[in-house]
Structure 1
């Protein structure tokens, strides 16, 4: 498969507002990137890193702004990263936060990625290192990632903190000054990984909000392992199917194209695992149906339409085959009972 990494839609940050404020069309950007606009309302949805890169590249071209992602990054925050952001922000010290970010990133937010800490005398180099081979839009992604790393340190060091130096891998020399102006600190061009550089004494900074944190719920902790392993073909295909379901009923041909596998190759490899495309589609429909029933008050008809069913009755019959009860009954069973006086 061509994609080796996935990321959550939340890593796009407030992209819609930034594009609109700059006079661009967010609808056109998503259409040109061949991604569903519904991603903006689905921050936990996964998408291939190569698609994430391409979306940033298309946006840069839409706005005629080669440093768009650095501009976008200035408006990002830890809170926008959902469960991952909360988990990191609850660490008692910056050192623990950086360790949490490094160990949990590939399981909770983005895989095919490493956050690596290296010490050089009194300097800490915290780098963002990618294994994904995609190139288009990669530079934009790294500008954005650097700002998220700055946001982690700012949670401990103060809202106005900036690193002593930023290193951006393979940054064209013509962009060094404009990127430096947006970053507000010295920006260097490196041949290795992109990184932020700061004084090692900051690592002992204590979390100012430590007493206010409530911890993560059991359901949030259950999300830690929901990114697919690079060798998990059914898991990787399921991500693509769920991404397509945000906009349309996915087809085998479409998923094959997105995965980089010929239709027959995809069917053969799934068959070797005792699975079929229909199995993966059914499972994805079940998961999305359950989420919509649990997390929204949409009507059964609306949910059926969102899942690609022409007739709500067809959806109801399918859901009953999956769960043993009709969707209206299932939703009723999930609602908490009124407390007795």
Structure 2
């Protein structure tokens, strides 16, 4: 497969709000990025990091705004980081939160990425370093990531806190002023990774909500382990199937296009593992069906449509073949066990 990391759709923040408020078309942005707009309603869905970057680049072009991701970042919150944000901001000090952020990032929120803390005299430099080879939209992605890092620090230092300096790479000098205005801090354009710089004494700041922690529940813990390893072919293809499901039932052609493989190569590599595309599609449909059936507000008709079935009857027959009971009966038994 084409090398890539993954990130959760939640990291896009309020992208639709910002694009439309500035006069753009979010539908056109998603269409140009070749992504299903259903991502907006599915924040935990994983998408290739290169597609995330491309969507940010398409948004910046739509609005002719080199500072788009910085503008978007100003509206981000810890809530956009989901389980990862909850885990990080339960740390007793900012130093521990930064350690948690770096150690758990590849497993919980975004792979092919590192967060590195370096000490320089009385300051610290906290950097966002991207290992993914994607180039399109990379500076926009970096600006957005910097705002999420600021949001983490603000949990400890206060809602109005800003770093003493922000360093950003890969941007034209003409963009410095507009980006600096959105960042609200001294902004330096550099050749290195995106970073924030602040007084190292801040690292020992105590969590103001230290005794309000409620831990992670079982569903949240499960999401820690759903980013596939680079060499996990079935896992990587499963992520792409789940992404494509947001726009309708994916075909093998849809998947090989997004994976950057030929159809024959994918079929051969799966066959070497004793698998087929049909196996992975079925597995993904089953897991998504269970996930959706546990959401009480969704009707069977709605779930059938979300999984690409022509009507609820087709979905019910397929589910009964998988589980031995109709989806409505499965849902009733699941609720009875709550």
Shared topology, TM-score over 0.5?
yes
Aligned pairs (5 A) from 1:192-211: 192-211=192-211
Q: Which residue of 2 aligns with 1:153?
A: 153
Tell me by how many angstroms 1:299 deviates.
2.4
Q: Distance in 2 between matches of 1:20 and 1:126?
A: 32
Tell me by how many angstroms 1:20 deviates.
1.3
User: 1:223-274 CA distances to partner (integer Å, 9 max, x unpaired)?
Assistant: 2111011111111111100001011100001100100000000100111111
User: 1:153-209 CA distances to partner (integer Å, 9 max, x unpaired)?
Assistant: 010011111111111122211111111111111111222211101111000001101
Tell me by how many angstroms 1:318 deviates.
1.2
Residues 66, 179 of structure 2: 8 Å contact kept: no
Q: Distance in 1 between matches of 2:103 and 2:232?
A: 20
Q: Distance in 1 between matches of 2:270 and 2:144?
A: 36
Q: Which residue of 2 aligns with 1:94?
A: 94
Residue 294 of structure 2: SS of its match in structure 1? helix
Tell me by how many angstroms 1:216 deviates.
1.1
Q: Distance in 1 between matches of 2:169 and 2:328?
A: 53
TM-score for both structures, normalised by structure 1: 0.97
Aligned pairs (5 A) from 1:180-219: 180-219=180-219
Unpaired segments ≥5 residues, structure 1: none
Q: Distance in 2 between matches of 1:43 and 1:202?
A: 31
Paired residue total:
338
Q: Which residue of 2 aligns with 1:18?
A: 18
Tell me by how many angstroms 1:152 deviates.
0.5
Q: Which residue of 2 aligns with 1:4?
A: 4
Q: Which residue of 2 aligns with 1:259?
A: 259
Tell me by how many angstroms 1:337 deviates.
6.4
Tell me by how many angstroms 1:32 deviates.
1.4
Q: Distance in 1 between matches of 2:189 and 2:45?
A: 33
Q: Distance in 2 between matches of 1:240 and 1:296?
A: 26
Q: Distance in 2 between matches of 1:92 and 1:336?
A: 38
Residue 292 of structure 1: SS of its match in structure 2? helix
User: 1:2-36 CA distances to partner (integer Å, 9 max, x unpaired)?
Assistant: 24100000000011111111111111111111111
Tell me by how many angstroms 1:117 deviates.
0.7
Q: Distance in 1 between matches of 2:296 and 2:37?
A: 18
Q: Which residue of 2 aligns with 1:316?
A: 316
Q: Name whichever of 162-171 and 7-16 sits farther off.
A: 162-171
Tell me by how many angstroms 1:220 deviates.
1.1
Residues 88, 97 of structure 1: 8 Å contact kept: yes
Residue 297 of structure 1: SS of its match in structure 2? coil
